[in-house]
Amino acid sequence: MILNRKLAIAVFILFLIIGSFMFIGKENEELPFIEQKTFPDDFGVSAADPLAVKVGMDVLENGGNAIDAAIAVSYVLAVVEPFGSGLGGGGGMVVVPDHDESPVFYDYLVMAPGSGNIAEGSVGVPGFVKGLEQIHEELGSMPMETLLQPAIDLAEEGFQVNSILTERLQAARKRLPVNQLEHFYPGGTAIKPGEILKQQELANTIKLIQEDGSDAFYSGEIGQEITSRVQGLEMEDLHGYTVVKNEPVKGVFNGYHIYSAPPPFAGLTLIQNLQMAELMGIEKAGSESVNFVHLLAEISKKSYESRIEYIGDLHFNHVPIRKLSSVDYAKELSSTVLFNQLSKTSNNEATPADKLDHSDTTHFVIYDEEGTMVSATHTLSNFFGSGIYTEGMFLNNQLMNFNQISSSPNFLEPRKRPRSFMAPTILAKDDKPVLGIGSPGGARIPAVISQVLILSMLYEIDFQTAIEAPRFFAEDDTLYVEEQIPDEVKAELINRGYRVVVRESPAFFGGIQGLLVDHNTNELNGGADYRRNGTWEMNN
């Protein structure tokens, strides 16, 4: 349901009545559902496509765990959202296991070739297939062959196209080899909503992986086809791909532990946003709603500057994670926020990709009846990645996210992973998962996740309502807003010095997917974003 003007105004009225700005911290106020009891018997899936949600639920209902469901959902999303993720890309996954096991993060981002040069189309070595295989080997319970079958069936037998896929194909027409894509462009026109899309070539590729595992991709005929198609990628680049298993970055927000994606992902940026917002008492943000928008915009600017200064691949850079995730550092950043005027940002080392209009990528959250939660984000970078199509898949263009300035921690080097805005996240209490969340949306990802968490946890607004609330994003002096933000608020923002730009494309502002566990009532709840056709289900 699209948020109407009345709901938009209602949300912002909450900002009007709460109080005045307070540049002080506040005592942590725990929400009712953080009291830990036993895990609920419920399980659920929140994802950007109903078909992926159904497949994930089927796995859970048939005895699979959250990891099993995540594998199946990932491959199904590669079939039904070929613009947002797929075998030709990569991603990251945070897992907060049941019982006393430690949280873990898997990094299977795209990697630069060993030559240290940018390959054709900015295509990097994909990590999707190898990453999901390793995660399954370490944490899965059902046979991999079984988990891949739903994606094969959907690719082979087809599914009904939705309007989002049609719109993406229409928008990308000039970037794609339309004459090679008869199944996407029958008769030269983007396939229409309601028509059946079959992808036999993709089905064949997944079948090879089903039979031979990741070797089919990184050593076999799939890899050979990729390297023959992309100048600058060699088989030794694929052979050398490795998955990075790491600890999540950690922070504290409103009495919860935050577990998010470590560098080169943007988990630290999200943690800084949330901690600054809490320290500055954002829930008391002024007698006018414009103050909430302004304060969160300024907070995001500060964390994004920190990202540009520090964040890069951990194998090539020392990133002071403990410092950057600390409350003291959040205090330092927040001390420079200006309440009544716009700050001047210094983005001299920002890459062109830091300001690109990318809105694709996909996110999902899964929770199983044993109490394990998974939060994962996958991407091709731009929609349909590089536009290069082979073996039924589109190849990423993620190498464009590197910086060409040698002093940058994100400078291109052989076998390095580029910086990413993705921030799959789980909030926990007593090391038990309470809320999983994430979003696509390129540069907007940390900001939009922050907005939803602040509204739902500090303002105590219903989670789904917080997801539907009108969004905004600041870039220097420009403030991008959704049209549902009241006209009087836009006018006040202009008076404050912003250049206000209304973005009519809902996908620009991401697509939040989430699940939350109410340990007080032993129930599971969730939220999904209409902006990206999202949905969620649970078992009752």
Angle ∠(363,418,506) on CA atoms, nearest 5: 35
Helix ranges (DSSP H) in 62-199: 66-80, 128-139, 144-157, 163-171
Active site residue 361: yes
- 47, 73, 48, 79: which is closest to 154 by C-alpha? 79
Pairwise CA distance, residues 358 & 173, whole Å: 16
Pairwise CA distance, residues 363 & 260, whole Å: 14
- Length in residues, the chain: 540
Cβ count near 26 (within 10 Å): 15
Cβ–Cβ under 8 Å, residues 432 and 456: no
Query: E-strand spans in 221-326?
Result: 244-246, 249-253, 256-260
Q: Which of 166, 227, 269, 361 is catalytic?
A: 361
The backbone region for 522, taken as left when phi is positive above 0, alpha when psi lies in -120 to 50, beta otherwise, is left
In 3-state terms, the chain is what percent helix, strand and coil (to 5)? 40, 15, 40
Pairwise CA distance, residues 360 & 442, whole Å: 7
380 φ, ψ (degrees, to nearest 5): -110, 5
Q: Are strands 44-47 and 535-538 parallel, antiparallel or unpaired?
A: antiparallel
Three-state SS sequence of 168-196:
HHHHCHHHCCHHHCCCCCHHHCCCCCCCE
By annotation, the residues acting in catalysis are 361
